[in-house]
Amino acid sequence: MATIGPKAYIHLDRCISNLENIQKKVGGCALLCVVKANAYGHGSIAIAKSISDHENVHFAVFSIGEAVELREANIENDIIVFSRIQSDYIDVAYKNNIILNLSSLDDIQNIKSYILKTGRCPRYHIKFETGMTRLGVDIKDANLLYEKITKELTIHPEGIYTHFATADEGDLSYAKKQLSKFKDVVDLADNYKIKYKYVHCSNSGAILNLEEAYFNMIRVGMLLYGALPSDEVQNDINIKPVMSFCGSIVNLRRVAKGTPVSYGSVYTTSKDTNIGVVQTGFADGFPRPWYDKGYVHYLGNEYKIAGRVCMDQLMVDFGETIPEIGDEVLFFGKNNSGNISVETISNNINSTPYVLLTAIGGRTKYIYLDD
């Protein structure tokens, strides 16, 4: 029996196409493909496997657990963990060939203690804080950090990086200030003869907005999944949405004009109409605020969401259309029913594609396609 309920169709061929078109844009740069948070809601293992054989592909996650999951799925590419180093998982990282994120002077001591205890040194990149005010070694401590590395650690970093706060905005002045600071600490590393391989600071916004920040590695997240990081970037890469998020129609009711629908009765039918119940709610990742202006696609047409989205279900005003029970409506993405971008929804509800895509889950069934 066909599954009734929310489905996320993941078009792996589109992901591969997006990757290849991004590679054309950035030339010979290595691609650090960000698959944290279940690959932004797309399924980290399936996404990683689909692109792992491409040249110069590396992976990034946030937690050590996410990295180990990829290793257990036989993903052999380099994997970097973005979270703070914790002493109790350095050994896990070493044994699984996972790259750590040195983002504090304190991390030097954790790594040094591990070396003294085991005689082994884990792989790591250095992250500098240049203006995000999040993780990263303060640039004022760069001299001290490099001195400690040259004197106390047996292995130099494989990479040096930072993170932009505003590279996806129209005004790039702040991002360029960050870039200038970052270039200074990279130059300083050269003065200390730090032997690194990769330098990276470009995220999806900078890939589109700030080509001078490419260096020899770029980090690609949202673009890989076929969405733009904001509406202020100028996109010149052919990307396609990787996810089509859909739900099943499970009930249809003919109601009279003036019938209230859903919680709060905020929606009232303007005429006699067909109200369909779709088995998907905000617990499955459907963006609840979208009900006010929102619509779904069914067989090439748009139909308004009728009333507030419930935890498990939502209602749709189909007018005179009589859909088949079990048919699917499209919430966002692109398929035979239509095309609605996740950016359109996020812009209308004052959110971002990041929030909407990573919210998908719960009871959602994932279906991976290669067509």
Catalytic, out of 263, 271, 293, 365: 263
In angstroms, the CA 245 to CA 84 distance is: 33
Q: Which CATH architecture has domain 12-225?
A: Alpha-Beta Barrel (3.20)
In angstroms, the CA 73 to CA 79 distance is: 13
**Measured CA distances, 293 to 135, 258, 306 (Å):** 38, 19, 10
Strands 137-138 and 124-129, bridge-based pairing: parallel
Q: Place domain 243-369 in its CATH homologous superfamily.
A: Lyase, Ornithine Decarboxylase; Chain A, domain 1 (2.40.37.10)
Where do the structural domains in the chain lie, given as residue ranges? 12-225, 243-369
DSSP, residue by residue, 85-146: P-GGGHHHHHHTT-BEEE-SHHHHHHHHHHHHHHS----EEEEEESSS-SSSEEGGGHHHHH
**Measured CA distances, 207 to 77, 219, 281 (Å):** 22, 8, 35
Confidence of residue 164 (pLDDT cuts 50, 70, 90): very high
Instruction: Determine the pLDDT at residue 2.
Output: 62
Per residue in 53-80, pLDDT (tens digit) is 999 999 999 999 999 999 999 999 999 9
Better-predicted residue by pLDDT, 337 or 287: 287
- Residue 314 pLDDT more than 90? yes
- In the chain, the percentage of residues whose pLDDT exceeds 70 is 99
The full 3-state SS of 129-198, as one line of letters, equals ECCCCCCCEEHHHHHHHHHHHHHHCCCCCCEEECCCCCCCCCCCHHHHHHHHHHHHHHHHHHHCCCCCCE
* Residue found by looking up tokens 């029996």 in the block: 1
In angstroms, the CA 308 to CA 288 distance is: 7
Per residue in 110-157, pLDDT (tens digit) is 999 999 999 999 999 999 999 999 999 999 999 999 999 999 888 999
36 given a catalytic annotation: yes
Residue type, position 83, single letter: S
- Residue 282 pLDDT more than 50? yes
Instruction: Determine the pLDDT at residue 1.
Output: 45
183 given a catalytic annotation: no
Average pLDDT over residues 7-34: 98
Instruction: Determine the pLDDT at residue 165.
Output: 98
Per residue in 37-52, pLDDT (tens digit) is 999 999 999 999 999 9
Token couple for 178: 């960050």
* Residue found by looking up tokens 């792989």 in the block: 123
Per residue in 190-235, pLDDT (tens digit) is 999 999 999 999 999 999 999 999 999 999 999 999 999 999 999 9
Mean of the per-residue pLDDT values for the chain?
A: 97
Strands 314-317 and 301-305, bridge-based pairing: antiparallel
Q: Which of 255-259, 284-288, 335-339, 349-353 has the lowest mean pLDDT?
A: 335-339
Instruction: Determine the pLDDT at residue 65.
Output: 99
In angstroms, the CA 69 to CA 66 distance is: 5
Phi, psi (deg, nearest 5) at residue 164: -80, 145
Catalytic, out of 7, 36, 127, 334: 36
